[in-house]
A = this chain, B = another copy of it.
């Protein structure tokens, strides 16, 4: 129930990976076209190939997607388990915040 700095850091990191519209759009695209390559994603967004590749890297490093580098076409897939896990973590953190019947009101 304590606010663990390390845990905050971890959750914040995962949320950071999610906090960019392009990355959300990429996740959305991957959810509809399982196993598509970088180029497919590029076609679905108004961004340069290198930019999309960067965003994919961010998502990959956050563990939210997986990567199969089978040239020439590499495939990206959602890591649904990880996504659900982030969602659950945020949920429980917020639940704790909301449930906490603030034992002590410091001033009032």
* A36 pairs with B106, CB closer than 8 A: yes
CA distance A75 to B94 in the complex (A): 20
* A24 pairs with B37, CB closer than 8 A: no
Interface size on A, residues (CB 8 A): 52
Given contacts A8-B25, A21-B8, contact A33 B104 (CB under 8 A): yes
Q: Does A57 have its Cβ within 8 Å of any Cβ on chain B?
A: no
Q: Which residues of B are found within 8 Å of A15, using beta-carbon distances?
A: 15-16, 18-19
Q: Which residues of B are found within 8 Å of A29, using beta-carbon distances?
A: 3
Given contacts A35-B108, A108-B35, contact A97 B28 (CB under 8 A): yes
Closest 4 A/B residue pairs (Cβ): A34-B102, A3-B28, A15-B19, A31-B97
